[in-house]
Structures are given as structure tokens and as C-alpha cells.
Structure 1
Amino acid sequence: MKQFENLEDAQTLALAIVDTIPEPFLVLDDSFSVMAASRSFYECFKVDAAQTRGRSLFALGDGQWDIPALRHLIATIIPGQPAMEGFEVEHDFPAIGRKVMLLNARTVTYAGKDTANILLAFQDVTLRRQIEQEKAALNAQTEHLLAQQRILFQEMQHRVANSLQIIASILTLKAGSVTSEETRHHLEDARERVMSVAAVQTHLNASEGIDRIEVGAYLVKLGSGLSASMIGEGRPIVLDVVTDESIIASADAISLGLIVTELVINAIKYAFPTPRPDARILVQYEVQGSDWSLTVSDNGVCDAARIRCAMAELPGRTDRP
């Protein structure tokens, strides 16, 4: 490697390198006076070269760089370690306004000498921080709106559940007061339809989250509710639910719950016209790849009456957790 013929050539090259650095850049001596500055430093901070070189960093621009955080960095932190990266300084500069700067500093020592230089690079992250703050504010606002939406949704669901219970009670009273068997049958059938919707709605609300729920826990709760409301002590029917650990969208769960409720009610009403000790209704849900199947079967007079649903019949896909 060819050596420089004299010290001036080395200094000329060093100054040229500093001047071509795109980010604001300073070279300080061990007393924190500016030995060299990049062109981008002058352009970024609107300062004059003649009023910069040879002056203390903290005296530049009528003291605009006399920032406590920066003074602490240079006077205290840097002497204890050779480099410092990402030190953030926020300051209101007279000529350019408020800026947020990331400072990278490095101490350069020389063999056999007590003196040292400090290299100081500046990165303007004002716009980045502004975008981050706006994004954080927007996220906070969105979370607030979502929280309000959840409260309104829960209140609406509560009102819907109460309304369905009231409708079912009215239908029960009407069914008990009419003399026509046909009318009573229609009223009881309407009550069961309302109760099926109420059961789906109640157990869907009981699931954690609104967007996606676990099929197994949802169908087990739904089955328990149907057993409690539809199967009396005089009709010992066992309702079993067998599922895997699949998770589906709540919109799909509504359709799934309505299908299961309708089939279970039909099995309770028609599969066991006379009590039998081994009466059993089985609800099965399983996933194979991108397909799933739902089976509702019984061992009554309509033995193995079942339904299988293809993926195309309900929107969305079923995903395993």
C-alpha cells in the first residue's frame, strides 16, 4: 500500500471523505471543538462553515447544540467506551424547528498520543417518529372504537337473548290456552324454532372472542343447553358430542349451530316416540385437510338419520389451531 508523502495529503483525503458523507457528520477534537464537518451538516442545520470550524460544539449557532442530553453523551458516556450508537436527541433548533436525531459516536485514539478525536454522525428520524406517533394514536383510537363496538355488540346480543326468551314464553302461554290441536302444534313448533335460535345465540356469546371460536367447546355447550331445555327426566336421552380441536369463524359457527340444533330437536321429537334406556343422539364434527364433515345420528326409529355438509355449503374455511 502506497503511503502518503506528507501529512497534508492525508488530511486532504480525510476532509474529502468527511465532506462526501451523506448524513450530517462532525469530527471533534478532545476538547469537543469542531475540526471538520460534512457538507450535509451545514445544509441540514443551516449553519455557516466559517462559524463552525474551530468552535466548540456547544457554542455553535448561539448555543443551539448546548443540549443537556448531547453534552451528557459526549462528556460522560463516550470517554468510557469507544462507540455509542442510536442515542436519541430531541431538540427545537432555531433555524429548522424541532428535530429528533439519532446520534452515533466513536472515539478515535492514536498510538503513543494522549489526544483523541470524536466522530459524530447524525440521523434525522423526525418524520419516522412522527409517523410512529400518528400510528400509535391511530391504533389507540381504533382500539377505543373496537372496545365501544364490543360493548354495543354485547348489549345487542343481550337484548336479542331477552327478546327471544320473551317470544318463547309468549308462544308457550298461547299454546297452553288454545283448544285446537293443530294450532297448538304450530305454536309449539314455532317455540322450538325460537329456542333453537336462542340456544345458538347464547352459546356463541359464551365463547371466548368474537371472530373465531373452538368448535368442540362450542358444540359441547350447545349440546348441554339443548339437553337441559329439551330432554326431561321422563325421557332419558344421552346427547354426546365428538369433535376435534378445529377453530372456525363465528359466522360459520352460527350456521353450524343452527343445523345441529334443528337436527337434535328433530331427533328428540321423532326418533324416540316411546322411552328407551339406551336412547342416544351423537353429534360428530371432524376435519380432513381442507374439508370437514358434520354428522348428527341417533339410534331411534330413524336410526342413523344424518347429514353431511360439504365445505361449499358454508362460507369460510375451517383451520386447525
Structure 2
Amino acid sequence: MNLVENLANAQTLAQAIVNTIPEPFLVLDGKLRVLAASRSFYSTFKVNMEQTQGQLLYALGDGQWDIPALRLLLETIIPEKTSMDDFEVEHDFPNVGLRTMLLNARKVLYDDSSSANILLAFRDVTATRIIERDKEQLQKRTDELLHQKQVLLQEMQHRVANSLQIIASILLLKARAVTSEEAKLQLRDAHQRVMSVAAVQQHLHASEGIDQIEVRSYLTKLCESLVGSMVGESQPISVTVEADVGMIVSADAVSVGLIVTELLINAIKYAFVAGRTDCQIKVSYEINGTDWKLVVADNGSGKAAEPVGRKGARLGTAIIGALVSQLDAQVSTVSSDKGMAVTITHATFISRLPLAS
């Protein structure tokens, strides 16, 4: 077999290899003229062999490949680096439309010749980029909606806080205006409960996130606020909080916060005789998976006659009962002359903390 036949066979083999490549593929000479093109190149860009082979790349398809980004790749980058991966080009091709292509180029140098070839492969990522842009726009729209939701939530919380303050002020004014001591007491109790709802709402508003609240921080701040507003110097009362670290959904946090507020107010107002100095209230919250247990205990005088509250707190008992029912929990009370402990338990729970004495 002579040299001419060997060369012809090599060209046939090279063309066969090029045609097996599923993506558009070109072999260029050193002057960027097309030596070979894959079948995929012809079908993708709607050109034929006669219009392609032997032609300058930039002249193909009436100049559709005369793209500044492609010139940069072939005339500047390839001579310096000899290769380039995933060079992205977006172009509106005649008879094809707008396409985004990733170009991979290799410069092939030969030991016995000063000539070189350039292998150029194209990968159409138009559909991928469209999906990515759609996802980006969707994410942007989602972020905008979340921001709007946050703004609306803050506005709603602000209005709720203002409304509660107005209601509390009206109740306090009515309490000062009436002459009946019983009516005064009921209006003041109503005022205190409205303020407790405002305290819960305030702490929920201050918490990070909307759907989940960190329970230890929430209960600690809530109790500190209530103690600061209700406990005076004439009879100091120590209030401690022991809570597991964990999250609670906002809806449940409202009910738990109102229960703690009601029980804490009840203990501060009724648990201790005047002049006592060792007054202690302990709030504990334990978590075990989806189960939890809340205990509010004091070392006061106790009161066995009331299932949850003490004398004058029957409304509080009804409120707590309704909130416990909403939480699908159970309430129990232990009362003696050493104090009182109210326990709210969700599902079956084995306590790790000692009972308050």
C-alpha cells in the first residue's frame, strides 16, 4: 500500500470518527478553514458539506460564525493556552434561532510539522440556560413575595400591638371610673390578661423566623418581662426558667406563652402571703421528640380547692383549659401547704427533672 492510499485511508478513518461524535464538531486547519465536520454539525446549524468543507469558519452560513466571542477564543486564547473548556457563546443563528453553546477547543501540534489543527466541539445548553433563568426568576419572585409577607406580618403585628394597648387603656380607665370593688377587680384582671396577650405577641414579634420559635429564649424573655412589670420591691419573687433547647411552631408558642403568662400572673398575685421573703416560682419545659411537658410550680401556700388557679382566678382556669385543649394536652395540679405545681403534658412523657417542692 503506497503513501497516497495510506493518506486516503487515514482521512476516511478520521471522517468516520468525526461523524460518530453526537455533538457538533469541527476540525480546522491553522488558518481556521474547515477540514472536517460531523453530521451533527450539519443538522444542527442547517448547512451542507459543500457550503462547509474548505471554507473559512467565519464565512460559514453567510457569516453566522463571525462572532466576536468566538474570534477571541480562536485567535487569542487558543494560541496562548492551546485548549479551552466550556467557553460560552450566545448567538442568534439563521434558520436555527437563539442558541447558547458551550465551546471546547484543542490545538493539535505535530512533531514533524510546523502546521497545527484545531478541534472545536459545540454543546447546546440552550434548554438548560432557559431552565436556569426560569428558576432564577422564580426564586427572585419567591424572595419578593416572602419580603412582602414579612412586611405585611410586621404591619399586622404593629396594628395588633396598638389595638391591645388601646383595649388595655380603656379597661384601666373603666376600672378607675367604677365604684364597685368587684367590678374594679374584674376590670383590672381583664386589663392584666390583655397585657399578657400583648406580652406574648411582643415576644413572638421579636423572635427570628415566622413559623418556628426557639422555646428556651422565648419563655425566658417572656417570664423576665412579666416579672419586671408585676414584681415589686415590697415582696420580691424569684422566677427561674429551665427549658430544653428546641423549636416550637408559632401557633403552639402563642398557646404555651398564654398558659405560662396566666399561671405566672396567678402565682405572683395569689401564691404568697404578704411579707414572705423566700418566694420562688419555677417554669420548666421539657422536650422528648414530639412530646413535651410544661410545669409552673411555686413554694407558696397552695390551694387544693381550685383545679388550676386559686381564689378569684376561675376565669384563668377556663382560659388555661381552653388553651390546653387546643394543644391536645392534659393538665394536672398538685397542691399542698408547701406550694402548687401545674403540669401541662402533651402525650406520654417521663420527666427528667425533680418535682418542685
**What's 1:115 paired with?**
115
Structure-1-length-normalised TM-score: 0.90
Query: What letter corresponds to residue 280 of structure 1 in structure 2?
Result: Q
Q: Is the 1:240–1:283 contact (alpha carbons within 8 Å) kept by the matching residues of 2?
A: yes
Q: Is the 2:284–2:295 contact (alpha carbons within 8 Å) kept by the matching residues of 1?
A: yes
Deviations for 1:121-161, whole angstroms, at most 9, x for unmatched residues? 11111122122122212221221122122111101101101
**What's 1:165 paired with?**
165
- Whole-angstrom CA distance in 1 between matches of 2:273 and 2:44: 89
Q: Is the 1:24–1:123 contact (alpha carbons within 8 Å) kept by the matching residues of 2?
A: yes
**What's 1:71 paired with?**
71
Between the two proteins, the alignment pairs up a number of residues equal to 309
Deviations for 1:148-199, whole angstroms, at most 9, x for unmatched residues? 2211110110110111111111111212222223322322222222122111
- Over aligned residues, Cα RMSD in angstroms? 1.9
**What's 2:39 paired with?**
39
Shift of 1:312: 8.6
Structure-to-structure mapping, 1:79-158, within 5 angstroms: 79-158=79-158
- Whole-angstrom CA distance in 1 between matches of 2:256 and 2:347: 12
**What's 1:308 paired with?**
344
**What's 1:21 paired with?**
21
Residue ranges of structure 1 left out of the alignment (5+ in a row)? 314-321
Deviations for 1:49-85, whole angstroms, at most 9, x for unmatched residues? 1110011111111111011110110111112223211
The 1:208/1:275 distance shift into structure 2, 3 A limit, reads farther
- Tell me if 1:194 matches 2:194: yes
**What's 2:312 paired with?**
none
Q: Is the 1:241–1:282 contact (alpha carbons within 8 Å) kept by the matching residues of 2?
A: yes
- Whole-angstrom CA distance in 2 between matches of 1:65 and 1:206: 59
**What's 1:59 paired with?**
59
Could you say what secondary structure the match of 1:6 adopts?
helix
Q: Is the 2:291–2:348 contact (alpha carbons within 8 Å) kept by the matching residues of 1?
A: no
- Whole-angstrom CA distance in 1 between matches of 2:240 and 2:275: 18
Shift of 1:41: 0.8
- Whole-angstrom CA distance in 1 between matches of 2:52 and 2:126: 24
The 1:276/1:181 distance shift into structure 2, 3 A limit, reads same
Could you say what secondary structure the match of 1:114 adopts?
coil
Q: Is the 1:236–1:275 contact (alpha carbons within 8 Å) kept by the matching residues of 2?
A: no
- Whole-angstrom CA distance in 1 between matches of 2:345 and 2:95: 71
Q: Is the 1:78–1:84 contact (alpha carbons within 8 Å) kept by the matching residues of 2?
A: yes
**What's 1:316 paired with?**
none
Could you say what secondary structure the match of 1:173 adopts?
helix
Could you say what secondary structure the match of 1:27 adopts?
strand
- Whole-angstrom CA distance in 1 between matches of 2:104 and 2:64: 19
**What's 1:221 paired with?**
221
Q: Is the 1:203–1:222 contact (alpha carbons within 8 Å) kept by the matching residues of 2?
A: yes
- Whole-angstrom CA distance in 2 between matches of 1:120 and 1:189: 83
- Whole-angstrom CA distance in 2 between matches of 1:251 and 1:77: 60
Structure-2-length-normalised TM-score: 0.81
Could you say what secondary structure the match of 2:343 adopts?
coil
- Whole-angstrom CA distance in 2 between matches of 1:186 and 1:75: 89
**What's 1:317 paired with?**
none
